[in-house]
Each structure stands twice: as structure tokens, then as C-alpha cells.
């Protein structure tokens, strides 16, 4: 999706609503050089923002991890988001808050850099598609230990390894990569959490070396309300051979079925998931929830 081709209306930029053409940064912007920025991905459905307060909570947590003092309060950011989608006349949208250090000092110590905040939102209607499936490759790269990377923060720096791993599947038939952690347990995809299904129960990695995503937590809540067992555990690659289904979750993608996971680039050693009955049920329950916005 080419944002410049679809973006219309305004961006909330440092407390003001400006046209997207006005929102620019200098090439010496500190965060462009040193990755000291944090962001969120949020969805609105039928004009209502889903789990806005939880997303802004995480946004402010991410800024604190970077030592950034956001000059806007939680309430101001929530109100600005709601006003933005109203001003842009959006019903179903993707919303991107971003905070970054400016161009006063080009140094990693960022002593006196100004802090900038923006919130953008554009039309986005993607939802569960029963025909869409993912073919994954287990990447040779590993997620950093929990004491080496703030995995629960959505910072630009956290995504460097994800982008690096995606270069392995460029020009191939794979749709995404599957990360293992530093102890070779299953972690997550490049921008999604992962669930497996075994005998009707959901099995998902413990979120110590991966993001404990808001969609991930929502799926666990949905399962609990519908008497679907959820097991959080350390998962080895060998265990994947015994699972019935697999699916990925994320704010933008919602729920997506996984068709196969290859352990080598040639796809000689891989597991294939032929069922997706539980996945479809979970996707439908999630779709009902975000449409009604009951959580």
C-alpha cells in the first residue's frame, strides 16, 4: 500500500492539524540516524478506535524506554486520535502515532534534542480473508535475549532485525519469516505473533523474547470467554510437526492462517497445516468483537 497515493486530509503534528504535505523532517533528524523513535499501530472500525487507551499506554511506555519525555498526556493523545479520524472522515482506518527526536543535535547522547509527535490515519479496510494463507521460512537470525532488547516496546530499533531477516525471503515464494529466540524456541513473525492449534486448544509462545501484542492478548481473552483452552509455553521446532493449525495475529493483519513453515530455504523440510477450522472461528469472533468494540 503506497501511503502517499491514499493519504488524504490531515496529520496531527506537534499539537496542530496540518495537511500531510506540510509534515516534513530534516535529513539531520536525530532519530533518523540513531533509531530513537517509537510508534504504534492502531485500527478504527465503524468510526470507533479499538483499544485506543491500551495502545497509547504502550506508546508512552515505549517513549519512556527511550528516555523520551512526551510533552502530551495520555488523554491529549487519545483525544487527538479521535479528533483526527473525525476530521479526516474515516470509518475504518489504520492509525500511526510516532514520536522522535529532532535535528538540534546529531549525537547519540541527544542532550538537547527537541521532541516531535505526530499521529496519522488513513483509510484501511483489511479484515479476515479465508483464502489468504502464509508460507513461512524459519530465519537464520534470532531474537535477542530479553535482557538485550526491550521487546515490549514498539521502537524503531527493535525492527532492525526483522527487516534484516525479511531480506532472506526477498524474491522467494515465502510470505514472512518465523523467528526463534536465542535458545531456539519459537518466538514470532516479522510483525505478528503466532498461535498453533492442537486438539482444539490454542498454543502460543511465552512472550519473553517477542512482543506481547495487543491483538495477541485480545485473542487470549476471546478464547477464555469461549471456553477455548490457551497454553503459553516454550515451543520447539520439532513440536510444530504435531500441531493441527497455525495462525498469525497483529493489529493490521488481524488473524491470518498459516499454510506452511519451512525449516530450510529450499522447503525440503517443512510442516504443512491442512486444517483451519479453529482459526476461522477465532477470526470470526475477533471480527465480531472489533466491529462492536466491546472490550
Catalytic residue among 104, 154, 233, 259: 154
Please give the full DSSP string across the chain, using - where no structure is assigned: --HHHH--SEEEETTEEEEGGG----TT-HHHHH--EEE--EEEETTEETTHHHHHHHHHHHHHHTT---SS-HHHHHHHHHHHHHHTT-SSEEEEEEEEE-SS--STT-SS--EEEEEEEEE------TT-EEEEEEEEEEPPPTTTS-TTS-BGGGGHHHHHHHGGGTTSS--EEEEE-TTS-EEEESS-EEEEEETTEEEEE-TTSS---HHHHHHHHHHHHTT--EEEE---TGGGGG-SEEEEEETTTEEEEEEEEESSTT-SSEEE----HHHHHHHHHHHHHHHHT--
154 flagged as catalytic: yes
Catalytic residues: 154
Amino acid at each position: 500500500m503506497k501511503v502517499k497515493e491514499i493519504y488524504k486530509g490531515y496529520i496531527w503534528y506537534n499539537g496542530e492539524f496540518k495537511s500531510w504535505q506540510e509534515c516534513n523532517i530534516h535529513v539531520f533528524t536525530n532519530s533518523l540516524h540513531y533509531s530513537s523513535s517509537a510508534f504504534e499501530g492502531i485500527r478504527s472500525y465503524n468510526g470507533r478506535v479499538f483499544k485506543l487507551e491500551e495502545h497509547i499506554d504502550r506508546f508512552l511506555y515505549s517513549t519512556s524506554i527511550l528516555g523520551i519525555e512526551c510533552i502530551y498526556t495520555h488523554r491529549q493523545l487519545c483525544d487527538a486520535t479521535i479528533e483526527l479520524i473525525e476530521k479526516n472522515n474515516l470509518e475504518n482506518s489504520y492509525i500511526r502515532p510516532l514520536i522522535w527526536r529532532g535535528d538540534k543535535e546529531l549525537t547519540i547522547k541527544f542532550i538537547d534534542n527537541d521532541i516531535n509527535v505526530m499521529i496519522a490515519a488513513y483509510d484501511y479496510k483489511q479484515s479476515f480473508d479465508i483464502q489468504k494463507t502464509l508460507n513461512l521460512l524459519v530465519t537464520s537470525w534470532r531474537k535477542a535475549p530479553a535482557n538485550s532488547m526491550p521487546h515490549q516496546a514498539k521502537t524503531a530499533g527493535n525492527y532492525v532485525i526483522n527487516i534484516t531477516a525479511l531480506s532472506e525471503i526477498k524474491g522467494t515464494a515465502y510470505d514472512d519469516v518465523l523467528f526463534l529466540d536465542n535458545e531456539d524456541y519459537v518466538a514470532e513473525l516479522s510483525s505478528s505473533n503466532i498461535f498453533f492449534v492442537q486438539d482444539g486448544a490454542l498454543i502460543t509462545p511465552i512472550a519473553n523474547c517477542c512482543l506481547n501484542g495487543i491483538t495477541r492478548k485480545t485473542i487470549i481473552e476471546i478464547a477464555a470467554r469461549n471456553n477455548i483452552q490457551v497454553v503459553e509455553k516454550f515451543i520447539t521446532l520439532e513440536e510444530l510437526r504435531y500441531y493441527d493449525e497455525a495462525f498469525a495475529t497483529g493489529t493490521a493483519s488481524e488473524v491470518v492462517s498459516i499454510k506452511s513453515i519451512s525449516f530450510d530455504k529450499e522447503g525440503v523440510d517443512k510442516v504443512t497445516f491442512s486444517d483451519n477450522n479453529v482459526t476461522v472461528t477465532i477470526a470470526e469472533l475477533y471480527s465480531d468483537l472489533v466491529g462492536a468494540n466491546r472490550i
